[in-house]
Amino acid sequence: KQEVTQIPAALSVPEGENLVLNCSFTDSAIYNLQWFRQDPGKGLTSLLLIQSSQREQTSGRLNASLDKSSGRSTLYIAASQPGDSATYLCAAVNTGNQFYFGTGTSLTVIP
Amino acid sequence: NAGVTQTPKFRVLKTGQSMTLLCAQDMNHEYMYWYRQDPGMGLRLIHYSVGEGTTAKGEVPDGYNVSRLKKQNFLLGLESAAPSQTSVYFCASSAHRGTGRNQPQHFGDGTRLSIL
């Protein structure tokens, strides 16, 4: 069974800092890996999707990398802003289109 | 521009009562999912569907049933609610993988369910 771990569980940074969130998974036979953002009381919003054949994806200030062989993905956020404060979740997706989520990293960006 | 809509948003039940959660999507997606989210445990898949008329069990299916009679709707039923089913329930949908495009999941805003 796929196990997905996210470290740290919580992170607090001053505005403007660059930061990295980590995601690790135990089964490297994934179809893709996805990063989501969850605001309090809301559902998840998809941020980035990396296919298993890709190494990274970028969207604005966000960059996600994937190393399938080591079972790791990182989400890099450049020049953090208070509006980036949220919980970030990663999900490893298998070939049967089942999503296995980590427990998330709660990010607070201090103005 | 509704996306994925869940009803109701909140509900309080007594142990043993039954209820149905409704999920509707207007994106013509093939795949639909039901998750529960509990503190410290992340999202866990309850049931999912890869198309109209089909359903499959996820990681934590016991105590729940689902139906997908119409492509746009995915219903989650609790036959006899238990306090352990107190949780936030999320529905999601995604396009068929065969489209060749990226297929992120689109989520509803959740249903907060308390079982007393």
Mean of all residue pLDDT scores within chain B: 91
Identify which of A43, A46, A89 has the shortest CB distance to residue B104. A46
Kindly indicate the confidence band of residue B42, based on its pLDDT and cuts at 50, 70 and 90.
confident
Distance from C-alpha of B74 to C-alpha of A73, rounded to nearest angstrom: 32
The mean per-residue pLDDT over the stretch A25-54 comes to: 92
- Kindly tell me if the per-residue pLDDT of B69 is higher than 60: yes
Using the beta-carbon criterion (under 8 Å), do B33 and A99 form an inter-chain contact? yes
Contact A11, A59 (CB under 8 A): no
Distance from C-alpha of A91 to C-alpha of A50, rounded to nearest angstrom: 11
Identify which of B35, B42, B110 has the shortest CB distance to residue A104. B42
**Short-list A73, A91, A6, A7, CA closest to B90:** A91
β-strands B64-67, B73-78 pairing: antiparallel
Give A95 or A53, the one with higher predicted confidence.
A53
Q: Is A34 on the interface with B (CB under 8 A)?
A: yes
Residue B85: what pLDDT?
Answer: 97
> How far lies B11's CA from each of A47, A98, B7, B46, B115, in Å?
30, 28, 10, 19, 9
